Amino acid sequence: MFPGFVGTRVDAGDCRIYVRHGGSGPPVLLLHGYPQSHIEWHKVAPSLAERFTVVCPDLRGYGDSDKPPSSGVDHSAYCKRASAHDQVAVMRTLGFERFHLVGHDRGVRVGLRMALDHPGKVLSFTNLDVVPSAEAFEHMDASLAFSWFHWHLMRQPFPFPETLIAGNAKLFLDFLLDQWTAVPNAIDDKAYAEYLRCFSDPDTIRAMCADYRAVALDLEHDREDRGTKLSCPTLVLWAGKMPKRPGWQTGASLDMLDVWRMRANDVRGRALDCGHFIPEEAPDELLAELLPFLASVQP
């Protein structure tokens, strides 16, 4: 699925991160989302690798990366600050002090925290289909709450959501993939098999719930930085077709570009004719936007 790429494990401090990397040229870090792993980049990474060094890790708690212990009280192990630290360590180990950052879903939340905590590291920031957590929770309405039911479930105390999801992990995964996808057959069999393998692991389920519970600490960190704008060029691409999830990301009152223009000085972007899983539903359209954007950013 990743021809010419090499898989390895990187010691990031308190956990080891599985990463697949390949290509040559300026470095690009691709951070996946929920409920997936680095596999979600398999349709775009080979093309990017023709011009860039492409790094595709599994976030802590996901895929084949380590899943540190978690606590119902202390969310620091799965806050986005900790995950961002992992990925800075990954890039440093691979020899990159500055890099382009592309995130999808949870990867955007990790990426935003990285760009705030380590602004000198991030050359450019591409956001695929995310409104920042603070704005989303501040504008939560009925449509957004319906679309984000998994947030409210997975934040419940241990072991309630873990038990429900583990009772039929395949059913839960299939429901998410169906509800968030607008392009038929976008997720191919090999990718799906990998998602199901990882998603069915009870330790992964525990870690994913901890990742969502950590929004309590993420919001505290976000409040501390409120008003700080990203200085790096920012590309925002989002799902333009979510008929099964009305109010997805924005609810009834938010506008994707307006929200991100409050967060960054240089913002551009548009909706794509697909659902949430942009790298798999619209890989060609994504590359058509991403390649000229990256080429326009000078170190």
Those residues whose C-beta lies under 8 Å from the C-beta of residue 171, and which sit 6 or more positions away, are none
Structure tokens at 180: 């968030």
Q: Hey, is 219 helix, strand or coil?
A: helix
21 among known catalytic residues = no
Those residues whose C-beta lies under 8 Å from the C-beta of residue 163, and which sit 6 or more positions away, are none
Q: Hey, is 32 helix, strand or coil?
A: coil
Structure tokens at 176: 């998410």
Strand partners of residue 274:
none
Q: Hey, is 102 helix, strand or coil?
A: strand
Kindly give the residue spans of alpha helices, DSSP state H, lying in the chain.
45-48, 80-93, 106-117, 133-138, 142-147, 149-154, 160-167, 169-180, 189-199, 202-213, 215-224, 256-261, 278-281, 283-296
Cis peptide before 159 (omega within 30 of 0): yes
284 among known catalytic residues = no
The catalytically annotated residue of 105, 129, 211, 218 is: 105
Strand partners of residue 296:
none
CA proximity to 135, closest of 215, 202, 46, 67: 215
Q: At residue 142, what are phi and psi to the nearest 5 degrees?
A: -60, -40
Catalytic residues: 105, 276
